[in-house]
């Protein structure tokens, strides 16, 4: 299991201790074990390690603090599904693991006891450990940019739409709402 020094490190980054952070902490433990990462705070070399988070809750901060997957580096990718699930991939060897909190985990415990239970229980008793049902996402790409024809702000190509024959950003685009009617 991961040392409590790492728990303290995660809590310092997050700003408080809570059961949600403990879930992320244990997901990190699972990633380190399952993918054979080094446990010494396992800083990922650039985007070698990629984490897909299926929630936007407290636990994501443990992943950022301990595994150095960050939004800015492009190796922390939100895939919001409202599930306490985390997938980790190593680009080097293409391995991946998905950890999804088991149903009913700690449901009979109060908040403090739940947090303690999470921290002191091996990850594979907390999470279902599976192969991710989706593949490794591509690396962050560089895109050309153009000015939006409406607001004038410079926008990357992938986020532009065509409206009246001109490029417009997503906020200026007047969506055609009949789709899927």
The Cα 36–Cα 30 span in angstroms is 10
Cα 161 from chain centroid (whole Å): 27
When asked if residue 169 is in the footprint of Zn ion (CB under 5 A), the reply is yes
Other residues' Cβ atoms within 10 Å of the Cβ of residue 49:
25
Least separation in angstroms between CB 15 and Zn ion: 7
Least separation in angstroms between CB 48 and Zn ion: 27
Please pick, from the candidates 150, 159, 161, 163, the single residue that binds Zn ion as defined by CB under 5 A: 150
The Cα 65–Cα 28 span in angstroms is 10
Cβ atoms of residues 11 and 17 within 8 Å: yes
Instruction: Determine the interface stretch with Zn ion among 33-41, 86-94, 116-124, 144-152 (rule: CB under 5 A).
Output: 144-152
Site residue total, Zn ion (CB under 5 A) = 9
The Cα 119–Cα 133 span in angstroms is 27
Tokens of 9: 């490190």
Q: Which is nearer to Zn ion, 129 or 159 (CB)?
A: 159
Please pick, from the candidates 151, 156, 162, 174, the single residue that binds Zn ion as defined by CB under 5 A: 151
Phi/psi-derived region of residue 13, left when phi > 0, alpha when psi is between -120 and 50, beta in every other case: alpha
Binding mask 39-78 for Zn ion (x = CB under 5 A): -------------------x--------------------
Continuous segment of H or E residues that includes residue 94:
none
The Cα 82–Cα 98 span in angstroms is 15
Contact positions with Zn ion (CB under 5 A) in 4-43: 18, 20-21
DSSP 82: S
When asked if residue 148 is in the footprint of Zn ion (CB under 5 A), the reply is yes
Least separation in angstroms between CB 162 and Zn ion: 13
Q: Which is nearer to Zn ion, 49 or 58 (CB)?
A: 58
When asked if residue 105 is in the footprint of Zn ion (CB under 5 A), the reply is no
Q: Interface residues with Zn ion (CB under 5 A)?
A: 18, 20-21, 58, 148, 150-151, 169, 172
């Amino acid at each position: 299991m991961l040392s409590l020094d790492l728990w303290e490190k995660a809590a310092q980054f997050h700003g408080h201790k809570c059961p949600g952070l403990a879930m992320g902490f244990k997901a990190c433990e699972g990633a380190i074990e399952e993918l054979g990462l080094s446990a010494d705070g396992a800083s990922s070399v650039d985007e070698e390690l990629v984490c897909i988070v299926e929630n936007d809750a407290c636990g994501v901060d443990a992943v950022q603090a301990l595994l150095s997957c960050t939004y800015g580096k492009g190796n922390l990718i939100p895939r919001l599904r409202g599930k306490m699930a985390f997938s980790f991939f190593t680009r080097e060897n293409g391995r991946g693991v998905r950890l999804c909190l088991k149903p009913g985990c700690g449901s009979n415990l109060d908040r403090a006891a739940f947090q303690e239970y999470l921290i002191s229980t091996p990850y594979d008793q907390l999470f279902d450990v599976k192969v991710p049902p989706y593949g490794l996402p591509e690396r962050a790409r560089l895109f050309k940019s153009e000015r939006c024809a409406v607001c004038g702000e410079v926008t990357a190509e992938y986020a532009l739409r065509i409206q009246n024959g001109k490029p417009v950003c997503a906020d200026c685009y007047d969506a055609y709402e009949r789709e899927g009617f």
